[in-house]
Structure 1
């Protein structure tokens, strides 16, 4: 995070240079449409790409005519600015967001500097299906010439396809080569016999895998099959996967080539204890691993395949107490993750085409877009929470895998109803995590009596809760009848004669539904007291600022 001094200096330099294809100033007193924000993001990101600069800037709080700082009241709460990142990300394709939203308070007023990263190489940025650019200081459509210039970047040689300088066959791991032959033989039984594959020279085998160029070792070959010490030939790009433990204990270890073997070794490093699932009305539980090997390796192999190696960063797998996080550099390359989750998207291109083809030959990934779909189905079949894909603030892709039960009712529901469609499972999963879900699916789940409550406070229904033995959790989220709470107040006043608002809060807040926010609980108590006062059951014998409530006797009326 830049300091206030650095940001102030940056602001004054931008104002001095004034607007260009990569800088835009807006006064934005109170409001600015998110759609307009998306238009400018698209245009500025595309122009930053074409000019090869690190960041473009959209600045709020500067008068466009006088070129002076005037301040802005746009989204004054920090949480609203953070939510804006997700709002903008949802409309952009490929998915990305602001590198940072910098906020500085100056004597002249509050200023927001939206730092916009350049569009990825070969991929112009669009907003809701339309791509924008700049003509001087004006916003316009991205013309054919500019789009072709951005698209042409993808034809440049990808890093994985590059020839590894000074690498020879001796830099490859014999164990990895042998394992690659076994996998290739298993996957090509209709084309080649096992004996035929064993007779191939290593150089012939690598040619069939597509890991050589002009009979020379490529970066991709070293990544997948190289000896550990061969990683030095890939510098400055750190060909590493880092495993980190962040729990009651801390530890880490870096793993280099050969990735074909080391991803399985990393999986074995994870503390993968058994969890017992107990279906309803059954006495014998089912023991399952916290993390399924195929799911973890699918996520890890995807990170290797889609890593932007030119960013000189590692793939990082972080093990927390009950979750795994797998993070790789680079935005989601084509389309939205939800399309792959549903199995409706087949990618047309890849960031690392050369590497992806070889990994597909070795059975490490699926090139038709079904790998992520299978990963989600596998988690649903295990009755575990579904994975989450997110784009971090630095535009890295982050996959979260859950190794715990979030809501027992959800888990038991899946154990009993294995026929639930994946879209419905995804909606139930979002509901158990307290996230919004599609309105149409919510209506269907409500009709099936699997969920209840009012948005955004949805939860597993009483019927399901009873069937899945999660009644206690259901009671905590279900709202009691107002009469119940009013009786608590009356009984309290009968015993103690009077009560302050603080004492009333202490009496009721812990008993209100966990489905309510703190603000909603506070409003609920206020409404209860108002109703009792209107019904002439209680009255305030204190002041307006410091009320003291007592029962209203007949002689008080």
Structure 2
């Protein structure tokens, strides 16, 4: 890296810092916001934050910022956690030069129409100085897609009376939960309607938009979106056939769609009595992530409904409009952040309401969640020119694949994706075949490859069986009720402590906690226990 190369960069989209090991993430986040916004305003794809270069002399001096590679890469997650909408560094590079170590953070441009905030504040650059994003620049970014963004259009006849009371209440609660570190729940609940809706990016200066109606509108307010039907349709196909239409408000009714799906417990590897795992056929987070992605990326100008089709062994999610930027495989690993969104106003509002956790990472999170449940990877069908179809599997394709994921919990996602292609008899590159064969993960000769039966063979001892087998739900429920009868009450933490080490060791910690949550819900719905505390700090007691 020569002084000439360094001097050639524009200061507004490049920040040089010497950066020691104690540089604060909060300061880095501010620069991330500023650089992303400035790159957007200049029509560039990226900006750079560079550590190890003296800002005044433009000379390499070296940096000891996060010398451990794993800790350095963890900066991505820290940035994603506090940016709005949630994006992070595209890549982090380390250069070992003769003058010292240089770290280059590649900052993606803010998407069209969506300025990037760090902890609620929008930043920009004034020459080499960090400053707040002025109203002129803020408006320039936000107006980039207003003319063509269906979801941003104002409904002239729309009023607050067109909004559903329950949806508004839930929206406030979700917003308060997202920003619990900035606002108290009482403060959010006390805001005037206009203040809340503007802050949640649902309205424009108190004026009702199509996004407002789509997410929070009363069912009878759907005519304001005409000719768009404002509808999600669930269909059941197979030996039994049924259907149901779900209208507004989408913010509440995506959960209603999920509840309509028949979600039984699936016993993985039922023929192996010494090693069986029970999981739900479909994970709620996966279903809602897929459905929310349909809502966020639907081409509403085509006036079509979103369709969820339930078949005996899978779910299909269909929405109007081709894949907007790139291809699904670009997003699976989680490194790509889209520069453009079809409905940026709607997508930002959904982010504020926690409907979309990490914009650009939805596809990645669905794949990771399916892998943790030992299920096949999702499949995308883009064969129709103006539609996207996603299939979520609810049945094991090859038991050897699931055994492999159960035993090898540290497999990287690219290898899991490759094993999934093997079990589905899809082609693989020669390089990947060599890698999998070298690791002993596959057997057979091309094109007749299969997941290794030798590695996947279960050899659990009796002691292993006791640790991995799952007890009946009634057993765990009785432990909870016995505990409450003896000690009168219990917090969620106390119940976790009671059950975590008793649940099957095949489940990871997150899966165990979800299992406990399901048990508590089951007991509450059956009228056996009740929560005398709050949603955030429950106090469980035997129902009176």
Pair 1:389–1:468, CA change in 2 (3 A): farther
2:395 matches 1:404: yes
Q: CA deviation at 1:457?
A: 1.9
> Of residues 197, 211, 216 in structure 2, which corresponds to 1:225?
216
The CA distance in 1 between the partners of 2:450 and 2:431, in whole Å, is 16
Which residues in structure 2 correspond to 1:254-273 (within 5 Å)? Answer: 254-273=245-264
Work out whether residues 303 and 326 of structure 1, in 8 Å CA contact, stay in contact via their aligned partners in 2. yes
Aligned to 1:381: 372
Pair 1:293–1:468, CA change in 2 (3 A): farther
2:185 matches 1:194: yes
Pair 1:281–1:251, CA change in 2 (3 A): closer
Structure 1 stretch 209-218 or stretch 274-283: which is displaced more?
274-283
Aligned to 2:230: 239
* 1:400-459 CA-partner distances (Å, limit 9, x unpaired): 000000000001110011011100000001110111123322211111222122222211
The CA distance in 2 between the partners of 1:185 and 1:206, in whole Å, is 13
The CA distance in 1 between the partners of 2:365 and 2:391, in whole Å, is 16
Pair 1:230–1:284, CA change in 2 (3 A): same
Pair 1:354–1:257, CA change in 2 (3 A): same
Relative to the length of structure 1, the TM-score reads: 0.55
Aligned to 1:331: 322
SS at match of 2:266: strand
Q: CA deviation at 1:282?
A: 6.9
Aligned to 1:423: 414
The CA distance in 1 between the partners of 2:222 and 2:314, in whole Å, is 30
The CA distance in 2 between the partners of 1:360 and 1:153, in whole Å, is 19
* 1:450-491 CA-partner distances (Å, limit 9, x unpaired): 21222222112342354489xxxxxxxxxxxxxxxxxxxxxx
Aligned to 1:449: 440
The CA distance in 2 between the partners of 1:241 and 1:213, in whole Å, is 26
2:345 matches 1:354: yes
* 1:313-360 CA-partner distances (Å, limit 9, x unpaired): 011100011110001111111122112110010111100000000000
Q: CA deviation at 1:311?
A: 0.5
The CA distance in 2 between the partners of 1:153 and 1:397, in whole Å, is 25
Q: CA deviation at 1:300?
A: 0.4
Aligned to 1:103: none
Note the residue ranges of structure 2 that are not aligned, 5 or more in a row.
Answer: 1-112, 114-142, 461-544
Work out whether residues 225 and 257 of structure 1, in 8 Å CA contact, stay in contact via their aligned partners in 2. yes
The CA distance in 2 between the partners of 1:193 and 1:153, in whole Å, is 33
SS at match of 2:369: helix
The CA distance in 2 between the partners of 1:257 and 1:462, in whole Å, is 49
The CA distance in 1 between the partners of 2:312 and 2:267, in whole Å, is 17
> Of residues 169, 193, 199 in structure 2, which corresponds to 1:178?
169
Work out whether residues 409 and 468 of structure 1, in 8 Å CA contact, stay in contact via their aligned partners in 2. no
Work out whether residues 326 and 398 of structure 1, in 8 Å CA contact, stay in contact via their aligned partners in 2. yes
The CA distance in 2 between the partners of 1:395 and 1:425, in whole Å, is 30
Relative to the length of structure 2, the TM-score reads: 0.56
Aligned to 1:461: 452
Q: CA deviation at 1:189?
A: 1.2
Which residues in structure 2 correspond to 1:112-131 (within 5 Å)? Answer: none
Which residues in structure 2 correspond to 1:471-490 (within 5 Å)? Answer: none
Aligned to 2:355: 364
The CA distance in 2 between the partners of 1:225 and 1:466, in whole Å, is 51
The CA distance in 2 between the partners of 1:465 and 1:441, in whole Å, is 19
Q: CA deviation at 1:281?
A: 8.0
Aligned to 1:475: none
Equivalent pairs, count: 320
Q: CA deviation at 1:284?
A: 6.1
Work out whether residues 295 and 378 of structure 1, in 8 Å CA contact, stay in contact via their aligned partners in 2. yes
2:424 matches 1:433: yes
SS at match of 1:401: strand
The CA distance in 2 between the partners of 1:334 and 1:200, in whole Å, is 37
Work out whether residues 210 and 357 of structure 1, in 8 Å CA contact, stay in contact via their aligned partners in 2. yes
Aligned to 2:33: none
The CA distance in 2 between the partners of 1:374 and 1:153, in whole Å, is 29
Pair 1:390–1:153, CA change in 2 (3 A): farther
2:319 matches 1:314: no
RMSD value, Cα? 2.3
Structure 1 segments of 4 or more deviating over 6 A?
Answer: 279-282
The CA distance in 1 between the partners of 2:357 and 2:381, in whole Å, is 21
